[in-house]
Structure 1
Amino acid sequence: MSTSLLARPAASLALAAALVASLAACGDVRAPDARAGAASTGSTPSGAPSSSAPGASPYVEPGAGDGAPHYNENNAFRREGDMTPAHAKDAQREADRLRPVLQRLWERRKWDPGTVRTALLRLGYEEERVTKDGKRVGGTLTVTGMSQRWKDDGYVTPEGARVALRVHDDACVSGFVQKSNFEVRAHGPYLETGCFEPPYGH
């Protein structure tokens, strides 16, 4: 008997066993290859986001507005100071006095600083006076033109007036009146600019 005749039944048995194993595996749910998943989803095998994912910086501060490192430190000048509850009520009461005056001026299309100042002084406020070194020496009301803004190829100063009223050392009212709208609100003072909101691009 030749060896090739003996090898045929063994090969047939091996082929049959492989076929049975293949059929038995049909319908089995298999776990995906962790390495393939990491390549396609951008995450590590442990499920943690990869370091290239947005917002994955270890330097992000809690409560950071845009997620940038040192956001809170860099924007401290934009944060309003705290008001005591009693002073917050006083500031809101003054805001409620200013609002109808600014609304009336806006409706009459009168928003130049001189007109706005005159109208608010009629409420009994006194203009704030400040020494050259920035020390306040009296009064509570400040009215100025609008802040400059970048437009097209240069800075422009829009028509209108900004208003700031110091109610207490920790309580302010600020607002503006311009062609498009007006606003009045009560808030705590800003670190560098007092009752006026600081400009962007510090």
Structure 2
Amino acid sequence: MKKMFVLLSGVLLLSLAQTVRADVPDPDVLIKETVREVLDVVRKDQELRAGNQKKMLELVDAKVLPHFNFEHMTRLAVGKSWRTATPEQKQALMNEFRILLVRTYTKAFTSYRDQVVEIKPLKLDAAATEVTVKTSIVKPGSSQQPVLVDYDMEKMPNGWKVYDLTVEGVSLVTSYRSTFADQIQQAGIDGLIKTLVEKNQSAASNAAVAEKAGNK
């Protein structure tokens, strides 16, 4: 289930990329207007489809992550322990969680194979500051059921931001929260930070080895 979550959520997360605009589109319109353009980049770029990790990392970092509220996401993932963390610990947690997600979604994007994203219409109250945008991933010509993905988004001064998403009933934030809670209980906040740093460093090292092997 976690593997499906990683692979399929990443495909939709890429659709959140947008050019900065003076007007702020509704959240569902934002996704609908950008998904085709951004996924076309992945579809047409042979290096991305071949798994060019460096290029994919740059794409994710530049186009996807600016549309996430990482402080909110990290706070939710860490849970009640966030309140007792120092400002330095909070910043370290946000930095490492961000890197973790970059690596996770980079792997997901390289598995993209012409899925179609359908955005469900959204009735948005003018005063709304939080909404859930419901979408589904459909594989053309496949008998498999669509994969349902919900985005929890909040309105910020600079536009709508994602603070959680749910794939087939599994919340991204919740899935990390249980793991983080166990690590904090065993080794405290610093222990969690250490674990995330080591995990990110290991992932970066493995990616470098894979890329070097692929270039031979």
Q: TM-score, normalised to structure 2's length? A: 0.28
TM-score (norm. length: structure 1): 0.29
Higher relative contact order (CA 8 A, sep 6+): 2
Higher fraction of helix = 2
Question: Higher Cα Rg: structure 1 or 2?
Answer: 1
